[in-house]
Copies of this chain bind each other. A is one copy, B any other.
Amino acid sequence: MNQLMPSQLHDARSNGRTLVFSAIRRNAPVARVDIAKITNLSPATVTSITAELLTAGLIEEVAVENSGVAGKRGRPRVDLKIRGAAHIVVGIKLSDNSATYSFLDFEGKKIAGYVHPSAQETYCLPELMTFLTDGYSAALTDAGLEESSISGMGLGLPGVVDAEAGIVLWSPVLIEKNQPLQQKLADTFSIPVFIDNDANLVAVAEKHIGLGKNAQNFVVITVEQGVGLGIVINGKIYRGTKGCGAELGHTKVQLDGALCRCGQRGCLEAYVGDYALLREAGTAMGPLEGANPQEQMQALLAAAKKGNTVAQSIIRRAGRMFSMGLANVVNIFAPELIILSGERLQDSFLYGDEVINDMKKYAVQSGDLMPEVKIHSWDNQMWSIGAATFAIDGIIDIALAKIR
């Protein structure tokens, strides 16, 4: 009896144009025959849709290389790819000491980057608008781009963001709550603007131009100041109710445990955050060398490497707590892939084999069901690239909707 599953039958049948476009995006360069196979559309449909996309200037044909190769008979395939020149977007990552700007073309290729430093860590809304406007001008000048050439803007910031509504519900960098930042920015710059929690945007980038290209269900974990979690389900970012993302950093790993910056006890962050390790080191090792937390962390890690057992014990526990947090994500989600994404990977104790092995030990899934773990070391513009990729997503939808 050849059965159909209750779900799986009617879904996945998005829109033909979207289907074709994203197939090209993920597999470029790719010929029409293959697009037909990937999307399960007929060659006829692929021809007509790609013709539309070509006239709209969203994709372009590229010369295929294997002409003249023996054994390759038949009409040669014509490869298609996204036309990078179609649009340029800007992605902005707002952190507590700077705003990072990245310009991407429509293919997702980086054109330019710029960091706009800040003296302040928190802003009221007008101050933030000024800061972003100034930074945007500077970034454009630095990149040698005209403001009129930019088609869209993506902004990622820490905190709780309702991406659907474009509202920042709460952010450590913004004093006021519930601010309609998307609208504000769209009005100011007169281009489509998309905002989201920063961890979600890293997940977007991993999905489209990173290690999650071919995965449908995966999670991206970022460790910066906090521990971030981006969830991709069925190829789409999962944002939970009201578009507010997941909070891995404040999941509880110990009842009545260590005090966290959020005021609660036992949060994962209170065990794996820099400040948490330095707090422990301060108790048992006396003051560490170094003028700032970064340098002090280096000192702590160096001490551990040299054989200091107290330092080792501090780091080891943090690693095990991190494993536990990861294992819980695995147990709840059963993702096919976990991407640990960050810029300080080389010196981070959190990404060592020991931590990954512990995670596997703590997860109940057995053997072949255990998710693959990939470690992705981006440069420090990762976050703004994620924001720009998010903007590309939005621009694509607008562009495809325009074709009729």
Q: Are A369 and B244 in contact (CB under 8 A)?
A: yes
Q: Are B364 and A192 in contact (CB under 8 A)?
A: no
Partner of A4, one of B236, B244, B361, B398: B398
> Counting CB contacts under 8 A, is A331 at the interface?
yes
Partner of A331, one of B9, B233, B246: B246
Please state the number of chain copies in the assembly. Answer: 2
Produce 1/0 per residue, A8-45, CB < 8 A to B: 11110111001000000000000000000000000000
**A7-B237 CB under 8 A given contacts A247-B332, A248-B331, A332-B248:** yes
> Counting CB contacts under 8 A, is A170 at the interface?
yes
| A231 partner residues in chain B, CB cutoff 8 A | 332
> Counting CB contacts under 8 A, is A333 at the interface?
yes
- Bound-state CA distance A247–B362 (Å) is 12
> Counting CB contacts under 8 A, is A84 at the interface?
no
> Counting CB contacts under 8 A, is A397 at the interface?
yes
Produce 1/0 per residue, A319-339, CB < 8 A to B: 011001001110111111000
Q: Are B164 and A5 in contact (CB under 8 A)?
A: yes
> Counting CB contacts under 8 A, is A3 at the interface?
yes
The B-contacting residues of A in range 342-382, CB under 8 angstroms, are 361-362, 364-366, 369, 371
| A361 partner residues in chain B, CB cutoff 8 A | 264
Q: Are A14 and B10 in contact (CB under 8 A)?
A: yes
> Counting CB contacts under 8 A, is A394 at the interface?
yes
Partner of A242, one of B369, B390, B394: B369
> Counting CB contacts under 8 A, is A275 at the interface?
no
Which of A186, A334, A335, A361: most chain B CB closer than 10 A?
A334
| A324 partner residues in chain B, CB cutoff 8 A | 252, 255, 266
The B-contacting residues of A in range 274-295, CB under 8 angstroms, are none
- Bound-state CA distance A262–B361 (Å) is 12
Distance of A83 from chain B, by nearest CB (Å):
19
Q: Are B394 and A251 in contact (CB under 8 A)?
A: no
> Counting CB contacts under 8 A, is A69 at the interface?
no
Which of A13, A163, A169, A328: most chain B CB closer than 10 A?
A328
- Bound-state CA distance A329–B318 (Å) is 22
Q: Are A252 and B328 in contact (CB under 8 A)?
A: yes
